[in-house]
């Protein structure tokens, strides 16, 4: 699998180890494939197979399914679907897109690899396959990590090890689930990408996040432009203390005028709070300064 080989070893172990030595399409098989420990190679009716309800991937692009169906009509299914037994039926572990396309192509049977797997292993296999193929959007990936964390008790470190990513990558993905649901839906639908979603996390208020998201979609803002907009909105103006005195209040102006008359020089009173501030006295020569100091008894 060329895509898997480009990934780091932790990802490569996921699907390559499961699907290595997979059989050719049924039409090309001259004899039953030999048994492989831990796996059974089958040809299954498409109606005997059902999707995994916990499949991390929720959206399948119609145009790409049609392209794959056309390829399957011409070449068959090159890579078997990975399934596990579930009662009298078979549940997909990996390969739902191929299964869907096979039905569009009119196939009645598909090659499959049968293996045993716990619920957690089944979910991990589906997640790893989608990550290898870059099939998940940012929210689907985050939701998959959340399932591993909440339903299967894995830590972020354990999740990172299993999917071959850095722990910080997993942590940052999980943060996206703090976004309002309608904004997450925009990411799922492709109107916003991962960069936009991460930029929106710079805002704390849900309504502000929605407004920026809507503007980014409406105006086609780039990630950089969205980041700049978030920065401008997240800057908080300095808060004035309840007892701060305005610098141009009548009382302050009157005080400055009385000081000017008393000292014979331009004066400015700059209050910092109700009990603190500074007094500025201007002078234009040393002689004028001496006169001011004499008047205040210095």
pLDDT at 293: 82
pLDDT at 246: 55
pLDDT at 248: 62
Gyration radius (Cα) of the chain, Å: 34
Report the distance separating Cα 242 and Cα 278, nearest Å: 19
Domains of the chain by residue range: 2-135, 156-233, 250-295
Q: Is the pLDDT of residue 1 over 60?
A: no
Q: What is the pLDDT of residues 140-155, one digit of tens each?
A: 888 888 888 887 788 9
Mean pLDDT of 118-124: 79
Q: Which of 116-120, 144-148, 179-183 has the lowest mean pLDDT?
A: 116-120
For the record, the structure tokens of 107 come out as 């196939």
For the record, the structure tokens of 127 come out as 């997640």
Q: Is the pLDDT of residue 4 over 70?
A: no
pLDDT at 39: 67
Report the distance separating Cα 89 and Cα 94, nearest Å: 15
Q: Cβ of 217: how many Cβ atoms within 10 Å?
A: 15
Burial string for 168-189 (b: 16+ CB within 10 Å, else e) reads ebbeebbebeebeeebbebbbe
Q: Is the pLDDT of residue 263 over 90?
A: no
Q: What is the pLDDT of residues 203-213, one digit of tens each?
A: 988 999 999 99
Name the pTM for this structure. 0.50
For residue 197, the Cα-to-chain-centroid distance in whole angstroms is 6
Place 221 in a pLDDT band, splitting at 50, 70 and 90: very high
CATH 1.10.10.2830 given to domain 156-233: yes
Q: What is the pLDDT of residues 23-47, one digit of tens each?
A: 444 333 333 434 445 567 889 999 9
Q: What is the pLDDT of residues 72-107, one digit of tens each?
A: 888 888 888 888 888 888 988 888 888 989 999 999
- 54, 67, 96, 109: which one is catalytic? 96
Q: Is the pLDDT of residue 21 over 80?
A: no
User: At 112, is the secondary structure helix, strand, or coil?
Assistant: strand
Q: Which of 117-126, 214-223, 235-244 has the lowest mean pLDDT?
A: 235-244
Alpha helices in the chain (DSSP H): 2-6, 9-19, 62-75, 96-104, 119-132, 138-150, 156-163, 167-175, 181-188, 194-200, 206-219, 223-234, 250-263, 286-295
Place 181 in a pLDDT band, splitting at 50, 70 and 90: very high
pLDDT at 33: 39
Report the distance separating Cα 211 and Cα 213, nearest Å: 5
Mean pLDDT of 235-261: 66
Instruction: State yes or no: is 50 an active-site residue.
Output: no
Mean pLDDT of 126-137: 71
Q: Cα–Cα–Cα angle for 262, 267, 272, nearest 5°?
A: 120
Say which residues have a Cβ less than 8 Å from residue 144's Cβ, sequence separation at least 6.
Answer: 56, 123, 127, 130, 136
pLDDT at 218: 93
pLDDT at 208: 92
Q: Which CATH architecture has domain 2-135?
A: Alpha-Beta Complex (3.90)
């Amino acid at each position: 699998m060329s895509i898997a080989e480009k990934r780091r070893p932790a990802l490569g172990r996921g699907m390559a180890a499961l699907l290595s030595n997979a059989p050719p399409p049924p039409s090309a098989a001259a004899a039953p494939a030999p048994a492989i420990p831990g796996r059974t190679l089958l040809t299954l009716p498409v109606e005997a197979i059902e999707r995994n309800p916990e499949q991390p991937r929720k959206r399948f692009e119609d145009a790409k399914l049609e392209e794959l169906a056309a390829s399957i009509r011409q070449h068959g299914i090159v890579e078997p679907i990975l399934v596990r037994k579930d009662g009298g039926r078979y549940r997909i572990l990996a390969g739902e897109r191929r299964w869907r396309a096979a039905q569009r192509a009119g196939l009645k049977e598909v090659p499959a690899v049968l293996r045993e797997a716990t619920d957690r292993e089944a979910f991990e296999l589906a997640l790893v396959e989608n990550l290898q193929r870059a099939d998940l959007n940012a929210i689907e990936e985050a939701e998959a990590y959340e399932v591993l964390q909440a339903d299967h008790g894995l830590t972020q470190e354990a999740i990172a090890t299993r999917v071959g990513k850095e722990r910080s990558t997993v942590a940052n993905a999980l943060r996206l689930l703090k976004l309002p649901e309608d904004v997450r839906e925009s990411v799922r639908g492709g109107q916003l990408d991962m960069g936009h979603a991460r930029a929106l996390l710079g805002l704390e208020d849900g309504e502000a996040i929605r407004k920026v998201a809507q503007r980014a979609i409406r105006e086609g803002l780039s990630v950089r432009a969205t980041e700049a907009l978030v920065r401008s909105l997240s800057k908080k103006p300095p808060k004035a203390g309840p007892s701060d005195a305005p610098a141009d209040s009548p009382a302050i102006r009157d005080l400055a005028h009385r000081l000017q008359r008393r000292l014979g020089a331009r004066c400015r009173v700059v209050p910092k709070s109700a009990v603190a501030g500074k007094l500025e006295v201007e002078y234009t020569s040393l002689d004028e300064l001496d006169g001011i100091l004499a008047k205040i008894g210095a």
